[in-house]
Amino acid sequence: MYRAMDALEAAKQAHTTDDLPDDPALARLADVLRGMGSALVCYSGGVDSAFVLLVAHKVLGDRAIGMTAVSASLAPRERDGAIAIAKAIGARHELVDSNEIEDEGYAQNGVDRCFYCKSELYRIAAKKRVDWGMAFILNGTNTDDLGDYRPGLDAAREAEARSPLVEAALDKAEVRRLSKLLGLPVWDKPASACLSSRLPYGTRVTAERLHQIGELEEAIADLGIRQARVRWHALGEVAGTSGGAIARIEISKDEIARAFEHRDAIVARGMELGFAYVTLDLAGYRRGSHNEVLSGRSLRVLS
């Protein structure tokens, strides 16, 4: 099982100059990447983009560069993990500053927030692609992503970014299987969207709110809990108070009991960070829970 603290040591097993294993799906991906000649990989450290970077490095060598955009919406643990994995793979890895939070379209946090985020990412990537002499911009989109609501895919199309996993017809299960085959330690890493995804649509994205979310999730991860989301909900001003926020914490169902055992520590840290209430969502973690309320069913929030 994936543990961030072991990522660097385990990833050493993933870097080899040997030929790729004989696997038809892996061969398809290698052929796609080989035909590009060179590529800049938009690399977050998650399993999809890490897998693309690993295979691109094996096929293209120094003609493949991983680029990670660093901003307030990227949890420090995710940044550090991305650095460790890229270093162990042996791929060139560049950190670049991203300022999507300064875009009013992003800060307003509409249902198309990801479009503005990815537009900023691909704007930066387009410049770096030229600076570094790379032929293409790549992302980690797989075929399963095509059926979900993902405004970022529109930004990718506008930027003419390529999705080699889609071109090789690889879904998430195949990505994980092949990542494990190649010894990539993040093969079973849980999905991890940017911190802004923890804010309900229409609730403004601010650096302070992202800090609250990121720090509380960090504290929960330090307890050994692998899958947690801190959903931020505004209380607003009630009966003369100055308002505040609720931390609605989603934990994977098999870890809820563990989180409950540590409830005092979690609540204490949440209060330190300025949350008025710290709650545990008994429905457990589920991907994109804020999408559940697009029809109007939600905890109402203020911007």
Q: What is the average per-residue pLDDT within 216-245?
A: 83
What is the pLDDT, as a whole number, of residue 187?
94
| Separation between Cα atoms, residue 74 and residue 193, nearest integer Å | 9
Contacts of 186 (CB under 8 A, 6+ apart): 2, 7, 45, 46, 47, 50, 81, 85, 179
With contact defined as beta carbons under 8 Å apart, do 52 and 164 qualify? yes
**Residue 171 · residue 142 · CB < 8 Å:** yes
Contact present, 60 and 32 (Cβ < 8 Å):
no
Can you say whether the dihedral through the CA atoms of 55, 58, 63, 65 is positive or negative?
positive
The residue among 160 and 9 whose pLDDT is bigger is 160
pLDDT tens readout for residues 77-101: 999 999 999 998 999 999 999 999 9
Residues of the chain with CATH 3.30.70: 195-293
pLDDT of amino acid 192: 81
**Is 90 exceeded by the pLDDT of residue 235?**
no
Please check the confidence at residue 31 and state whether its pLDDT lies above 90: yes
* Cα distance between residue 122 and residue 137, in whole Å: 8
Instruction: Give the pLDDT band of residue 19 (cuts 50, 70, 90).
Output: confident
pLDDT digits (tens, 9 = 90+) for 183-230: 999 999 988 889 999 999 999 999 999 999 999 999 999 999 989 999
SS3 190: coil
Is a pLDDT exceeding 50 seen at residue 16? no
- Token pair, residue 234, equals 């505004």
- Residue extent(s) of CATH 3.40.50.620 domains in the chain: 4-188
The tokens describing 63, both together, are: 């003609």
33-58, pLDDT tens digit by residue?
999 999 999 999 999 999 999 999 99
254-290 confidence digits (pLDDT tens): 999 999 999 999 999 999 999 999 999 999 998 656 5
Least confident of 109-113, 133-137, 234-238: 234-238
From the list 40, 65, 24, the residue with the least C-alpha distance to 174 is 24
- What does the alpha-carbon distance between residue 152 and residue 150 come to, in Å, rounded to a whole number? 5
Measured CA to CA, the distance from residue 149 to residue 81 in angstroms comes to 27
Residue with tokens 């999408």: 291
pLDDT value of position 288: 59
Pick the CATH number of 4-188 from 2.60.40.10, 3.40.640.10, 3.40.50.620, 3.40.710.10: 3.40.50.620
122 vs 6 pLDDT, higher one = 122
Q: Tell me the fold of 195-293.
A: Alpha-Beta Plaits (3.30.70)
Average pLDDT over residues 149-156: 86
